Amino acid sequence: MKRLFFILFFLYTQNVNANWITFYQSQIFKANLLLSSVSQNGQKTQALIEIKFKEKISYDEVSSYVLILEHTCGETKYSIIEEKFYQGIANKSKEVYTINNPKIFKEYVSETLPYLIKQTCI
């Protein structure tokens, strides 16, 4: 009985953490996709992605860029529903509100979009 309880507890705790997958990696950053966030309505797909930078790329010391992205499968156009910038290490980061040049961050999203489409479009 104790073994059964332990096995059930173990299986339950394995599902507590979010399921992130790395869908793109370069020397500058790593892009992760939260699998449970992917939703598809017709051809439109929404997903939550996180871009973690391996080095500091702005004076605001942004270490990660988290956004909800919407795109139509098969197209290269996308729209950003919501975006947030964070500085610091995971689980101890704080949100950064003053970003002077968000254009550079959108270039990183454009670079990863073809890899994201492969992961989210059926």
pLDDT over 50 at 4, yes or no? no
- The better pLDDT of the pair 3, 93 is held by 93
Which tens digits make up the pLDDT trace of 25-57?
A: 989 889 999 888 888 888 889 999 999 988 877
Mean pLDDT of 63-77: 86
Number of other residues whose CB lies within 10 A of the CB of residue 117: 19
Which tens digits make up the pLDDT trace of 82-116?
A: 888 888 776 667 888 766 667 778 888 888 888 88
- pTM score, whole prediction: 0.75
Q: Pick from 118, 52, 37, 47: which is nearest to 89 by CA?
A: 52
Q: How far apart are CA 119 and CA 122, in angstroms?
A: 8
Phi, psi of 21 (to 5 degrees): -125, 145
